[in-house]
Amino acid sequence: MPPAHPGPVPAWFFSVVLAATALLYLLGVVAVRRRGGWWPTGRTACWAAGHVAAAAALLGPPAGAAHHDFTAHMAGHLLLGMITPMLLVLAAPVTLALRALPPARARALSHLLAGRPLRTLTHPVTAALLNGGGLWVLYTTGLYRAMGEHPWVHVAVHAHVVVAGYLFTAAIIGVDPAPHRPGPRVRAAALIAFLAAHAILAKHLYGHPPAGVLAGDARAGAQLMYYGGDLVDLVLIVEFCRQWYRAADPRRRDRPARPRIPHRRPPRVPWRLPQPAGTADDAGSGTETLRWAVSRPMGPR
Amino acid sequence: MPATARTATARPTVSGGRNVLSGALLGLGVAAFVDEAIFHQVLHWHHFYDKSTPAIGLVSDGLFHAFSWFATVAGLFLFADLRRRAAVSPPRWWGGLLIGAGGFQLYDGTLQHKVMRLHQIRYDVDLTAYDWTWNVIAALLVLAGAVLLVRARRRPA
Task: Express each pLDDT in A170-192 by its tens digit.
Answer: 999 999 888 788 989 999 999 99
pLDDT at residue A288 in the model: 42
Per-residue pLDDT tens digits for A45-79: 999 999 999 999 888 776 767 667 888 888 888 99
Per-residue pLDDT tens digits for A111-137: 998 888 888 989 999 999 999 888 888
pLDDT at residue A102 in the model: 92
Cβ-based contacts of A200 with chain B (< 8 Å):
58-59, 61-62
Q: How far is CA A63 from the centre of its chain?
A: 22
Give the whole-number percent of chain A exceeding pLDDT 70: 86
**CB under 8 Å to A29, separation ≥6 — which residues?**
A39, A44, A96, A100
Give the whole-number percent of chain A exceeding pLDDT 90: 39
Closest by CA to B119, choosing from B7, B63, B36, B42, is B36
| pLDDT tier for residue A282 given thresholds of 50, 70 and 90 | very low
**B31 contacts B23 by C-beta, under 8 angstroms:** no
Per-residue pLDDT tens digits for A220-256: 888 888 888 889 999 999 999 999 998 888 887 777 7
Cβ-based contacts of B3 with chain A (< 8 Å):
297
Reported pTM = 0.81
3-state secondary structure of A150: coil
Average pLDDT score over residue span A150-175: 90
- Whether the pLDDT of residue A293 is over 80: the answer is no
| pLDDT tier for residue A287 given thresholds of 50, 70 and 90 | very low
Cβ-based contacts of B85 with chain A (< 8 Å):
250, 276-277, 290, 293
Q: What residues 176-195 of chain A have any CB closer than 8 A to a CB of chain B?
A: 188, 191-195
Max CA separation in chain B (angstroms): 61
Cβ-based contacts of B10 with chain A (< 8 Å):
289-290, 292-293
B3, B67, B73 member nearest A241 (Cβ)? B73
pLDDT at residue A179 in the model: 78
3-state secondary structure of A221: helix
**CB under 8 Å to A268, separation ≥6 — which residues?**
none
The residue that leads in pLDDT, A260 or B42, is A260
B49, B66, B85 member nearest A206 (Cβ)? B49
CA distance A191 to chain B (A): 9
Cβ separation A296–B157 shorter than 8 A: yes
pLDDT per 10-residue tile (average), chain B, 157 residues: 40 70 91 80 69 73 87 94 88 91 84 70 72 83 89 73
**Amino acid occupying residue B22:** S
pLDDT at residue A266 in the model: 83
Q: How far is CA B29 from the centre of its chain?
A: 6
The helices-and-strands tally (H runs, E runs) of chain B is 5, 0
pLDDT at residue A9 in the model: 67
pLDDT at residue B89 in the model: 87
List b or e across A31-55, with b for residues whose CB sees 16 or more CB atoms inside 10 angstroms.
bbeeeeeebeeebbebbebbbbbbb
- Whether the pLDDT of residue A301 is over 60: the answer is no
B7, B80, B86 member nearest A277 (Cβ)? B86
